[in-house]
Structure 1
Amino acid sequence: MKVLSKEEIDKDLSELEGWELGDGYIHKEFNTKNWKTTIFVVNTIAGLAEAHWHHPDLEVSFKKVRVKLTTHEAGGVTERDIKLAKEIDRLVGDVLKH
């Protein structure tokens, strides 16, 4: 699995709203309206992660979920992380609309 260059990551992230690169991860914070929605977001991300067999780091608080993605076995951000970030945005976006 190829680790992406900073330029490749920046290009991919330009197509994803709110995702940033830092400390070897791509990361994004999702703001929610309450604890119930926060848990729905966490469960949505957990389901996607299992389906992709690729597991992010999550930081969970009352009205916020922070997602961090990296491919540990590759030692950096790969296409696998970008793909999961796109899926997370698509499905979590649906959760946050309701």
Structure 2
Amino acid sequence: MPLFSSEQIQARLKSLPEWKLEDGVIVREFEFGDFALAISFVNAVAEQAEQAGHHPDIDIRYNRVRLALTSHDAGGLTNRDFDLADAINAL
């Protein structure tokens, strides 16, 4: 899968305003009412990731979840990252 150029990344981020570019990966933070809700969300993300065959880096801090997406095997951002971010937003 081809890597996205800087211009392609910026164009795709316009359709994902909650996501931002940090150190070559796209990230988004979510906040929930409590730990159980955060874990429920992470489980839903895991289902989407398994279906896509593409897995985010996940950091859980009690009621906050930080997701980071990049295509490690491709060495940067690809369509898979933005497609999964779209799917996660739909949750």
Q: State the TM-score, normalizing by the size of structure 1.
A: 0.89
Structure 2: stretches of 5+ with no match in the other structure? none
2-side partners of 1:82 and 1:50: how far apart? 15
Aligned residues, how many?
91
1:39 aligns with 2:39: yes
CA RMSD of aligned residues (A): 0.7
Instruction: Give the AA of the match of 2:87.
Output: E
Question: Within 5 A, what are the aligned runs for 1:4-23?
Answer: 4-23=4-23
Question: 1:96 is matched with which residue?
Answer: none
Question: Within 5 A, what are the aligned runs for 1:47-58?
Answer: 47-58=47-58
Deviations 1:43-71 (A, max 9, x none): 01111110101011000011110000000
2-side partners of 1:17 and 1:39: how far apart? 23
Q: Secondary structure at the match of 1:30?
A: strand
1-side partners of 2:11 and 2:90: how far apart? 19
Overall identity of the aligned pairs, in % = 42
2-side partners of 1:63 and 1:17: how far apart? 22
Q: Which runs of 4+ in 1 moved over 4 A?
A: none
Q: Secondary structure at the match of 1:28?
A: strand
2-side partners of 1:45 and 1:22: how far apart? 20
2-side partners of 1:13 and 1:61: how far apart? 25
Greater per-residue helix proportion: 1
Post-superposition offset of 1:17: 2.6
1:69 aligns with 2:69: yes
